[in-house]
Amino acid sequence: MIVESPQHGVLMLQPRCNMTCSFCVTEDSMGTMTFEVAQGLLRDLKRRNFASAIFGGGEPFFWPYDLKKILQYASELGLRTQVGTNAIKFPADFDQWDFVDRWVIPVDGVTSEVHNKLRSFQNRHLQIVTKTLSQLKDAGRSVTISTVITKNNQQEVMKIGEYLRTLQEGEKKIIHAWHLYKFLPFGRGGKLHQAELEISDELYEQIVREVRQQKLPFQVFKRKDMLLSKTVEFYWIEQGKLMLQSKSKGIQPAAI
């Protein structure tokens, strides 16, 4: 069945992060969502029969409210929960958080020269991510891998596919899906690094085709521009107001 109406609400909780990625699409001007607004929004998503709530930012573990509590709240409402995180500021027991249905973790290369070079201040990030993935696999958790395809990592995308194939081996299947994003010249990173990182539509399409020919043991999604997805609505705070953006509604204040 093809679902045409929004099913997934993305809560962009706040803009701060402990990394600086050259492709980051977050806008520094975004505000911070309060706990009460997030709760109200989750109730509204449930009332409108959304299937899942995806918590992002910035880095959601920098949200000044209780992330664990809001995830439990969403889960109790019956929403599937996903958290998009760079995995640096995880609490010690993250692999036991059974109210998180899926972690969304970035892998943008298989070598430090490529993955870490796309980010500043975290020269060991690839090592942190591979250790985290191994812990999540041992705990039987589910993850979506996100990769932003840029001029500087396009040569390693197939190798990421082979690394993920290896990670998926064995009885415990950690990878739900792999999302291949096209670099977008937006936000605090993307705008600054357009000349250095942007690839053509043709190259992006070719890389996605080649990845699909790898016949990987999980779904590979083409994510040329998430804002154009019919099934996703984005929510954030701007000048104190809750805003939403979706393909059908454009950008407008959210009435919840």
The residues of the shown chain that bind ligand SF4, judged by CB under 6 A, are 17, 19-21, 24, 26, 57-59, 86
Q: Cβ of residue 84: shortest distance to ligand SF4, in angstroms? A: 7
On whether the CB atoms of residues 150 and 50 are closer than 8 A, the answer is: no
CA 59 to CA 116: how far, in whole Å? 17
Q: Which is nearer to ligand SF4, 14 or 52 (CB)?
A: 14
DSSP three-state, residue 162: helix
Tell me, letter by letter, the H, E, C secondary structure of 84-128.
ECCCCCCCCCHHHCCCCCEEEEECCCCCHHHHHHHEECCCCHHHH
Q: Cβ of residue 17: shortest distance to ligand SF4, in angstroms? A: 3
Q: Cβ of residue 10: shortest distance to ligand SF4, in angstroms? A: 13
Cβ neighbours of residue 137 closer than 8 Å, sequence gap 6 or more: 167, 172, 174
Q: Which is nearer to ligand SF4, 7 or 13 (CB)?
A: 13
The two tokens of residue 250 are 């454009």
Q: Which is nearer to ligand SF4, 58 or 161 (CB)?
A: 58
Q: Which is nearer to ligand SF4, 57 or 161 (CB)?
A: 57
Q: Which is nearer to ligand SF4, 19 or 158 (CB)?
A: 19
Q: Cβ of residue 211: shortest distance to ligand SF4, in angstroms? A: 21
200: phi then psi, degrees, rounded to nearest 5:
-75, 160
On whether the CB atoms of residues 114 and 159 are closer than 8 A, the answer is: no
DSSP three-state, residue 62: helix
Q: Cβ of residue 104: shortest distance to ligand SF4, in angstroms? A: 10
